[in-house]
């Protein structure tokens, strides 16, 4: 049996669902989240096409006093391709991805701050406005082409 993982599913409309899931797989179009506020304990079905991202978190509260690092520091050696992701709503995330492909529905991003509350994030490509590949040694970035079919306005 698959161990449950803590997730926060953030929709493109701002809605959010926090809970546990046992059936999130990046190649499936939906998964289920069991929330604490559901009196019947029936999991909520979540469809990827409605989401901005799925955040795998350490806990649901986080630490409001913690200031999350948003950039790579000199000497950092990320595992995978360093990316800066700008969502359609303006939020910017920095991290690295082992399986980034702009033609797929989504990809996993490991946040730049290993001590932050987000363990990893499954970014929904259609909810992204821009993706830049970071060239850490030069301090430059290259914009990655996104297909029109996947971009949301």
Supply the DSSP string of 21-89, one letter for each residue: ES---TTSSEEEEB-TT-TT-PPEEEEGGGEEEEEEES-SS--TT-----S--TT---SSEEEEEEETT
Tokens, residue 79: 């595992």
Which residues have CB under 8 Å from 142's CB, separation 6+? Answer: 132, 133, 135
**Single pTM value for the model:** 0.90
DSSP-based three-state secondary structure for 127: helix
pLDDT tens over the chain, length 153 residues:
678 999 999 999 999 999 999 999 999 999 999 998 776 678 999 999 999 999 999 999 888 899 999 999 888 889 999 999 999 999 999 999 998 888 889 999 999 999 999 999 999 999 999 999 998 888 888 888 876 444 444
Q: Which residue has the tokens 């929904």?
A: 124
Alpha carbons 152 and 109: distance in angstroms, whole number: 20
Residues listed for the chain: 153
């Amino acid at each position: 049996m698959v161990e449950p993982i803590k997730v926060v599913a953030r929709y493109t409309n701002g809605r959010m669902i926090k809970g546990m899931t046992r059936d999130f797989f990046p190649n499936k179009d939906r998964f289920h989240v069991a929330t604490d506020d559901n009196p019947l304990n029936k999991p909520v079905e979540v469809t990827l096409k409605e989401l901005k991202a799925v955040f795998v978190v350490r806990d649901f509260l986080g630490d409001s006093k913690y200031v999350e690092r948003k950039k790579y520091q000199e000497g950092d050696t990320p595992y995978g391709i360093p990316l800066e992701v700008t969502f359609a709503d303006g939020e910017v995330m920095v991290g690295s991805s082992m399986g980034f492909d702009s033609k797929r529905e989504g990809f996993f991003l490991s946040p730049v701050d290993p001590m932050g509350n987000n363990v990893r994030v499954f970014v929904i490509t259609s909810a992204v406005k821009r993706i830049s590949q970071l060239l850490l040694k030069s301090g430059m970035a290259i914009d990655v082409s996104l297909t029109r079919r996947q971009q949301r306005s």
